[in-house]
A = this chain, B = another copy of it.
Amino acid sequence: MNMLNKNSVKELKQNKRINNFADGIAAAFFDSMRYDPTVLAFGLGATDPKNIFGTMAGLEDEFGNERVFDTPISENAMTGMAIGLAISGYKPVLTHQRLDFSLLSIDQIVNAAAKWYFMFGGQQSVPLVIRMIIGQGWGQGPTHSQALQSWFAQIPGLKVIMPAFPKDGYNLFRSSIADPNPVIFIEHRWLHQMSWNGEGRVVSPTQLGKSNQISTGSDITIVSNSIGSVYSHHAANILKKYNVGVEVIDAFNLRDFDINSISKSVAKTGRLLTVDFSHQFCSIGTEIIAQVLPLNFADLKIAPERIALPNFPVGTSFNIEKDFYFSTIDICKKIESMLNVTFPNIDDELKEYQSSSKKRFDGPF
């Protein structure tokens, strides 16, 4: 049933099939399973011809249908089963094509996985990855587009990892699989097409880190994650031309971000903006601001601000979607207002990035 043959598996081994973020996830699966025989991969559609947007292509062929398998539509039982495997010496990775589907398994995620190590007094950890893909655009609508990363991040015992760039996607996924705790690994679907050639693949994953500083600057600090970091990175590049220094910290580890680096950066810039693709209310950006306040109150020149999604669901209509999601331009305009300056001809500068960030998902899936 699999669309890949042994040949393309070989290509994957040689990086030849790796062109983008999605392929990077496939490579991380591949390498994790190759070097660690306890890693298992399953989920609805894991072995179907589309292999979860290609991210699981070739796995069943290579590792067999005991380690890689399709499942019933029983999210709660599948999560419980993954926990049972995790407490029995395996490292399962359960994939949801949409984050929204994981809501049927919240009992297992919150009441069991997140608390197991704690409630049994540190005796048995749960090395489990639940991989969730956020689908937005093409009318995914209210129940197929939810970006609940800040919501998962509220739960003690979970780690929530949200990579931005393809190579980080590869590495963080490897580290998440190797981590002894339950990790919610969230991919924004729009990142899947970002290019990467597979360079830098490793045998042994590193420990999960906290954040990456992806640009330096002394005028404003942005703390972001996932596609928010990509847009912020674009914004930082563009604003260089206006002599505005934007320091972007990609805080991919949502519950355990590096508050010291953030604080240091804010001490330097005196300004903080958080950029975050979840509803604004109680978002992760909100927490970052609250943690920075007692550390940097005297340094702050202006009030910290947030860019996030509106506090209501997204309607299916394209006309709603286009105003619902922010992009690089909104970050630039927010900085314009925070610095109380104007960036002449900014729209022209943005064009290049705008088109790249407009290269969104066009359905029907």
A residues near B (Cβ < 8 Å) are 76, 100, 103-104, 106-107, 110-111, 115, 118-119, 141-143, 146, 148, 150-151, 153-157, 255, 279, 281-287, 289-290, 293-294, 297, 300, 302-306, 311-313, 315
Contacts and interface: CB of A to CB of B under 8 A. Distances in A.
Contacts of A151: 151, 154-155
Contact of A313 (B104, B157, B289, B300): B157
B297 A290 contact: no
A100 B111 contact: yes
Chain A to chain B: the 5 pairs with minimum beta-carbon distance, closest first? A297-B303, A106-B106, A293-B303, A119-B142, A286-B290
Given A103-B106, A103-B110, A313 B283 contact: no
A303 to B, nearest CB: 4
B141 A119 contact: yes
A110 to B, nearest CB: 5
A115 B110 CA distance: 22
Given A118-B312, A119-B142, A313-B118, A153 B281 contact: yes
A96 to B, nearest CB: 13
Nearest to A293: B303
Nearest to A116: B142
B143 A119 contact: yes
Contacts of A106: 103-104, 106-107
A60 to B, nearest CB: 29
A257 to B, nearest CB: 11
Nearest to A143: B111
Contacts of A141: 119
Q: Count copies of this chain in the complex.
A: 2
A318 B153 CA distance: 27
Contact of A154 (B76, B104, B154): B154
B154 A279 contact: yes
Given A154-B281, A282-B287, 16 more contacts: A104-B107, A156-B281, A156-B311, A156-B312, A157-B312, A157-B313, A255-B281, A282-B286, A285-B290, A286-B286, A286-B287, A289-B289, A290-B290, A290-B306, A293-B304, A297-B303
A157 B157 CA distance: 27
23 contacts: A76-B104, A100-B111, A103-B106, A106-B106, A111-B143, A115-B142, A115-B313, A118-B313, A118-B315, A150-B282, A151-B151, A151-B154, A154-B154, A154-B279, A156-B312, A156-B313, A255-B281, A281-B287, A282-B286, A289-B290, A290-B290, A293-B304, A297-B302
Nearest to A292: B303
A119 to B, nearest CB: 4
A135 to B, nearest CB: 14
Most buried by B among A100, A111, A157: A111
A33 to B, nearest CB: 31
A141 B313 CA distance: 34
A119 B293 contact: no
Nearest to A305: B294
Most buried by B among A106, A281, A294, A306: A281
A156 B303 CA distance: 26
Most buried by B among A115, A119, A286, A315: A286
A336 to B, nearest CB: 16
A151 B289 CA distance: 18
A285 B106 CA distance: 24
